[in-house]
Amino acid sequence: MRPSDDLDSDAVRRWIDVCVRDLRALRAEIDGINVYPVADSDTGSNLLHTITAAREALEGTAVPGAGEALAVAAEAAVHAAKGNSGIILSQVLRGMASSAAGVDVLDGAALATALRSADSAATRAVARPVAGTMLSVLHAVSTALPDGDGDTDAAGVATLAAKTAAEALANTPNQLAALAVAGVVDAGGRGLVAVLDALVETLTGQRTSVPVQVTSHTHADETPAPRTWEVMYLLTVPDPTPGELSGLRKALSALGDSVTVAEAGEREYAIHVHCADIGAALEAGLDHGRPHHVRVEPLLTPGPAEPSVAAADRAVVAVVHGQALADLIGGEGTPVLVVDADGEPSTEDLLTLVTGTAAAHVTVLAGGVRLTAAAERVTGHPMLEDRDVVVVPCASPVQVLAALAVHDPERRAGADVVAMAEAAAATRRGEVVVAAEDAITWVGRATAGDAVGFIDGEVVLIEPGDVERRIERAATGVLDRMLAVGGELVTVLVGEHAPDGITDVLAEHLRAERPDVELVCYPGGQTDAVLLMGVE
């Protein structure tokens, strides 16, 4: 192969040719490690199908520059793309083509800019990017590339991109539980590494590849059952607006997961979703434009788990408000979804959280009444038919922490759920908030700015006066009332707007009044309550 320091139109053609050759050779290997988002063993086939369409479009087409060659390849790939991985690959080409428009030859700086554009285009197309996937590998590449003119030629940029991608791919099992459980790297990411290795070979003439550890995953012991469908179509939108596309993503996310709405041309979009209702997915498109080139394929997912669930087939996940609390829970190895204050998680967010564990039995701990209700609504979703999903009722994040404290993966699944539910129910909950407006309560009138104390959702005291002192009085007052009926452990989650030193005040108060009680305090990061307290 004739090497080239930079990427011209002939080099683009050779690159696509090498991609087809290598993805054909790797198809079985990539299909064999395909476990996320659905273990349907088709990622390698989808990538090959997509890139083959790009090659066929370039054959016999006269293109004077690299930018035009990339545009031809991208348009064909977008229209032929199959599966999540195929759509993402098509957006990689589309992003590069957009950056290189009108450019005859891409030098190192231009290629780096094109790959960063590819990252933006692919990420923008996916409704909810997930760490540990093809997108993570692509973003690692984008971040590592030099920014600016520099002296690195295109071959050097491609070599750095391929090396970075291989390193990011090796890290994907540490980012996504489904991969760790199966003992594999991400299949789409493996395909992207092959694509970048092909670019290196095109520009250097050397067929070298950074070694990638890939462990085969077999589905031989699984019982296939077509529970859901992969629905793909092109959608022509007469007058697209950002709000309209956001509404389409939301509608598709309510039906299933792996939602992609990718630009496919002027007023045209490539739609992809895994869902149980084919008609509803098409109707969502009809509400916004004209669907065409519709393709539907069954997704073969494992059958129901046996009644006796091994520890590796079980998982506990959490849904909370407050980044600090999410970091605390996630630091202990529990997958956690953080939701904006006063917000609710989307259906796709919850589906991704549950399915990302790759576990047959999933226990959900949601840190609030509304979060618990949202989690309960999704348990009956058709996408979760092959999993046993149980929501432990929690009205406060302190009850989530109590449940996690007694979680034992060696116990039987049912017994473990009961233990966590009992721990959560036995934890009395208190909170201190600052009144946002005047209100009448059971214990008197609260004026905006007063500190209001709650126990198990009921107002028990109101403290007016100095800002810092009123919060201290409310906190110690709530604590005394909760401990009046007993307790051995107090857990406090400190809100984002809590006064400095409040935990010291509580510690000193307990040492003086209840030295037998243990106190633990954590940053919660919540904005709706100054303090959240739990007593066990």
C-alpha to C-alpha distance for 49 and 44, rounded to whole angstroms: 9
Helix (H) or strand (E) holding 112: helix 108-125
Whether 178 contacts 358, CB under 8 Å: yes
Residue (of 445, 406, 409) closest to 426 by Cα position: 406
Residue 193 has pLDDT above 60, yes or no: yes
**3-class DSSP assignment, residue 90:** helix
C-alpha to C-alpha distance for 486 and 77, rounded to whole angstroms: 66
More confident residue, 413 or 16: 16
Whether 7 contacts 203, CB under 8 Å: yes
Residue 182 has pLDDT above 80, yes or no: no
Query: Domain 225-301 is of which CATH architecture?
Result: 2-Layer Sandwich (3.30)
C-alpha to C-alpha distance for 19 and 202, rounded to whole angstroms: 10
C-alpha to C-alpha distance for 320 and 236, rounded to whole angstroms: 38
pLDDT of residue 266: 82
C-alpha to C-alpha distance for 405 and 205, rounded to whole angstroms: 57
Q: CATH classification of 429-535 is 3.30.1330, yes or no?
A: yes
Fold matches, 9-204 and 311-426: no
Residue 212 pLDDT grade (very low, low, confident, very high; cuts 50, 70, 90): very low
Can you give the residue ranges of every domain in the chain?
9-204, 225-301, 311-426, 429-535
pLDDT of residue 61: 81
302-314: average pLDDT: 47
pLDDT of residue 454: 94
User: pLDDT tens, 12-57?
Assistant: 999 999 999 999 999 999 988 888 777 777 899 999 999 999 999 9
Residue 227 pLDDT grade (very low, low, confident, very high; cuts 50, 70, 90): low
Residue 512 has pLDDT above 60, yes or no: yes
pLDDT of residue 517: 92
pLDDT of residue 523: 92
CA angle 377, 380, 385 (to 5 degrees): 150
Residue 213 pLDDT grade (very low, low, confident, very high; cuts 50, 70, 90): very low
Which homologous superfamily is 9-204 in?
DhaL domain (1.25.40.340)
pLDDT of residue 148: 65
The CATH class of the 311-426 domain is: alpha beta
C-alpha to C-alpha distance for 329 and 459, rounded to whole angstroms: 29
Residue 1 pLDDT grade (very low, low, confident, very high; cuts 50, 70, 90): low
Of the ranges 179-193, 243-257, 469-483, which one carries the lowest mean pLDDT score?
243-257
Burial of 436 (0-12, 13-18, 19+ CB in 10 A): exposed
**134-144 helix and 108-125 helix, angle to the nearest 10 degrees:** 150
Residue 535 has pLDDT above 80, yes or no: yes
Residue 239 has pLDDT above 90, yes or no: no
More confident residue, 304 or 284: 284
C-alpha to C-alpha distance for 408 and 420, rounded to whole angstroms: 9
Burial of 196 (0-12, 13-18, 19+ CB in 10 A): buried
C-alpha to C-alpha distance for 100 and 110, rounded to whole angstroms: 7
Of the ranges 180-184, 231-235, 286-290, 413-417, which one carries the lowest mean pLDDT score?
180-184
Q: In degrees rounded to 5, what are phi and psi of residue 472? A: -60, -45
CA angle 346, 349, 352 (to 5 degrees): 150
User: pLDDT tens, 121-171?
Assistant: 999 888 778 888 999 999 999 999 987 656 678 999 999 999 999 999 998
Measured CA to CA in angstroms, residue 504 lies from 279, 454, 475, 494 at distances of: 59, 21, 12, 12
Residue 209 has pLDDT above 60, yes or no: no
pLDDT of residue 255: 83
Sheet with 451-455, edge to edge strand ranges: 458-463, 451-455, 428-434, 531-535, 489-494, 518-523
pLDDT of residue 348: 80
Bridge partners of residue 463, in order along the sequence: 451
Mean pLDDT of the chain: 86
User: pLDDT tens, 424-446?
Assistant: 999 999 999 999 888 888 888 98
Measured CA to CA in angstroms, residue 45 lies from 50, 125, 134, 203, 363 at distances of: 9, 21, 15, 26, 34
Whether 126 contacts 260, CB under 8 Å: yes
499-520: average pLDDT: 92
Residue 225 pLDDT grade (very low, low, confident, very high; cuts 50, 70, 90): very low
b/e sequence 37-64, b meaning 16+ C-beta within 10 Å: bbbbbbbbbbbbbbbbbbbebbeeeebe
286-302: average pLDDT: 79
Residue 291 has pLDDT above 80, yes or no: yes
User: pLDDT tens, 309-366?
Assistant: 344 578 899 999 989 999 999 888 889 999 887 788 888 888 888 887 778 899 999 9
C-alpha to C-alpha distance for 161 and 172, rounded to whole angstroms: 17
pLDDT of residue 219: 43
C-alpha to C-alpha distance for 341 and 40, rounded to whole angstroms: 37
C-alpha to C-alpha distance for 386 and 177, rounded to whole angstroms: 17
100-110: average pLDDT: 92
Q: Which percentage of the chain shows pLDDT scores above 90?
A: 48
Bridge partners of residue 494, in order along the sequence: 523, 531
Neighbour count for residue 398 (Cβ, 10 Å) = 28
Tokens of 176: 């996504």
Residue 304 pLDDT grade (very low, low, confident, very high; cuts 50, 70, 90): very low
Of the ranges 199-203, 224-228, 243-247, 365-369, which one carries the lowest mean pLDDT score?
224-228
